[in-house]
Amino acid sequence: GENVEQHPSTLSVQEGDSAVIKCTYSDSASNYFPWYKQELGKRPQLIIDIRSNVGEKKDQRIAVTLNKTAKHFSLHITETQPEDSAVYFCAASNSVGSARQLTFGSGTQLTVLP
Amino acid sequence: NAGVMQNPRHLVRRRGQEARLRCSPMKGHSHVYWYRQLPEEGLKFMVYLQKENIIDESGMPKERFSAEFPKEGPSILRIQQVVRGDSAAYFCASSPNGELVTFGSGTRLTVV
């Protein structure tokens, strides 16, 4: 099955700096890579996603890059703000027979220091 | 659309009791997933169901745990004879296509 590794497990940055979270995946057939943000005590929520036919996608201060050859993808947050503090999870969509499911990374606790 | 509805939000059970966690997927979503999250840890896949069928239960312990998604009604995650180690947040998620996944608010199970 798919295996998704995520680094770092914790990340502290100063407000206004950039944050980068990296993930690798094992199943070359995976073709959909979402990122979720989970604030303390709340549900994970989708913040951005990318498909394997695209190398980069940007949405305001958030961007995701994908390197299919190396099987890794990254989340970039620019001009970080205190409200960006949360746990971020990457995921890869892989096949189970004719169906698909998400395999998640272990999460990155991002802390933005004011 | 009310989103993915899970109940109860909090559940306290004594060791040895049964826990039943319910999940109503978003309207039009036929794919349901259950994930477990231990304190300060990631989301661990448990089981993937479509209506009346278990597609993948590779993440679910073989004993004491079972899941169903009947033709009518919510998906149920059932834990028999709960132990302290079962204390966790259990998240249900639903999807129309197995990719665009929306999570519920979770059920926080505490075993005392």
- Evaluate if residue A52 carries a pLDDT over 90: no
CB contact under 8 A, A93 and B56: no
- Range of lowest pLDDT (A4-13, A89-98, B36-45): A89-98
| Range of A24-33, A85-94, B9-18, B56-65 with top mean pLDDT | B9-18
Query: For residues B109 and B11, is the Cβ–Cβ distance under 8 A?
Result: yes
Distance, CA of B93 to CA of B103 (rounded, Å): 4
* Mean pLDDT score, B8-19: 98
Residue from A23, A36, A102 whose CB has the most chain B CBs within 10 Å, to mutate: A102
Residue B1's pLDDT is 59
Q: Which residues are within 8 A (CB) of B79 and not within 5 positions of it... i.e. 6 or more apart?
A: B18, B19, B20, B21, B64, B65, B86, B109
Residues of B in contact with A45 (CB under 8 A): 103
- Evaluate if residue B38 carries a pLDDT over 70: yes
pLDDT in tens, A78-107: 999 999 999 999 999 876 555 667 888 999
Coarse DSSP helix, strand, coil percentages of chain B, rounded to the nearest 5 percent: 5, 50, 45
Structure tokens at B11: 């559940």
Distance, CA of B41 to CA of B88 (rounded, Å): 10
Residue found under tokens 């231990």: B38
CB-hemisphere CA count at 13 Å for B35?
Answer: 25
Task: Identify the burial level of B40 via C-beta atoms within 10 angstroms of its C-beta, where 0-12 means exposed, 13-18 middle and 19 or more buried.
Answer: exposed
How far is residue A109 from each of residues A73, B24, B40, measured CA to CA in Å?
18, 29, 9
How far is residue A8 from each of residues A111, B9, B39, measured CA to CA in Å?
12, 30, 18
- Range of lowest pLDDT (A20-24, A61-65, A94-98, B77-81): A94-98
Dihedral sign (CA B87, B33, A7, A83): negative
Residue of chain A minimizing CA distance to B91: A43
CB atoms within 10 A of CB A58: 12
Helices (H), chain B: none
Which of B98, B103, B104 has the CB atom closest to A99's CB atom?
B98
Distance, CA of B57 to CA of B33 (rounded, Å): 10
